[in-house]
Each structure stands twice: as C-alpha cells, then as structure tokens.
Amino acid sequence: METLPWRDTPRRFGRVSRILHWGMAALFAWQFLGMILKVTLGRHPVAGVFVGTHASVGFLLLLLVLARGSWALFNMRWRPQPDRGWLGYAAMAGHLALYALMLIVPALALLRSYGSGRAFAPFGLPLFPGFQGGPIGWMVAPGNALHGWLGWALLALIAGHVAMVVLHRFVWHDEVLSRMAGGPRRGRAPRPDLAGTR
C-alpha cells in the first residue's frame, strides 16, 4: 500500500496539506454553526457555547491560514495543478477568493479587537493588553462594517466549493476529491464530452 507523503506531490496533497485543510474545515464549521445558532436562537445557552469561543477560534484560524498559505507556496512546484480550460481557471479564482476571505475576515476582527481598547487573550494566552481613552475609530469601523458580511460571503464560497467537489465526484467521476481525501479513485472514467474542458 502506498504511503502518503508529508509533502505534496503532483498526484495528491500530502499529510501536512490535508491536516491543515480538514482541521480548518472543522474549525470553520464550528464558527459558522455558532453564528447560525446566534442568529436563529439569540441569547441561548447552546449558542453561547459557540459564541464564547468565536474570537479565540477566529485568531487560531488566522494563524492556520497563514501557515497554510506559506505551505502552499513552498509546495507550489510539486502539488497537483489545476485542470486545463475554463473550469480550471474558475477553480483557481475560487481558491484565491477563499484564501483572501479566510485571511481578511479574521484580520478585520483582530484589528477591531485591538482598536476597541479591550485586552485580548485567545485561549487564555495574553496577546495584547487593553488601553485607556476609548476605541480607535479607524480600527474598529472596518470590522463593524465588513466582518459579518464578509464572513457570510466566505460561507457562500465554502458552500460553492463543496458543491463543486460533489459535481467532480458524482457527476464527472474524476479524481479531484482523491487529491485531498484518500487515494486515487478507481471508478468510472470521466465522461468523454467533458474530458477536454477541465
């Protein structure tokens, strides 16, 4: 049985990329479930469990997206390349948008947190102390205006990402999913009418 390497290969993503991908997927699921519960239930104890960790998990996600982006750049020469054609370019654009929002959304929240003047200690680890004199408007305003909206836009992109994975797996029957989950798929070949479009 073939051993999965730590580094990416042209055939599939390695262990580090998979750990980062699926770990971040779980954390984003936690974040969005918490926000959905907050919107639907309001100040409910169940929603409070998720909301109470939202800032700390968001900071962790910011660190992970930086690590994931750095690892992707380091592996650029070896990792699986996008398919050819317009679908490949669309996939590249979608992934770039995902990375951008995964970086911008928590960065806005971190800037707002600092500008608020309150101390911030994710998971109990002091990151920066509070300060006197009231909030700093130019730091707080972008987060207040955009953090929530861009967060929902990120959720929509993630839903589109999952939908495309489902299409690749169950409609086009290719090996896109196996690059990030499991080994190469030995199922049906791609449909001939789609073979030259990806």
Q: What is the pLDDT of residues 115-134, one digit of tens each?
A: 999 999 999 999 999 999 88
Q: How far apart are CA 182 and CA 167, in angstroms?
A: 17
Percent of the chain with pLDDT strictly greater than 70? 91
pLDDT higher for 184 or 16?
A: 16
User: For residue 183, what pLDDT is reported?
Assistant: 59
Mean pLDDT of 176-198: 55
Q: Which CATH architecture has domain 15-188?
A: Up-down Bundle (1.20)
Q: How high is the pLDDT of residue 173? A: 83
Number of other residues whose CB lies within 10 A of the CB of residue 129: 10
Q: Is the pLDDT of residue 184 over 50?
A: no
Domain ranges in the chain are 15-188
Q: How far apart are CA 95 and CA 62, in angstroms?
A: 16
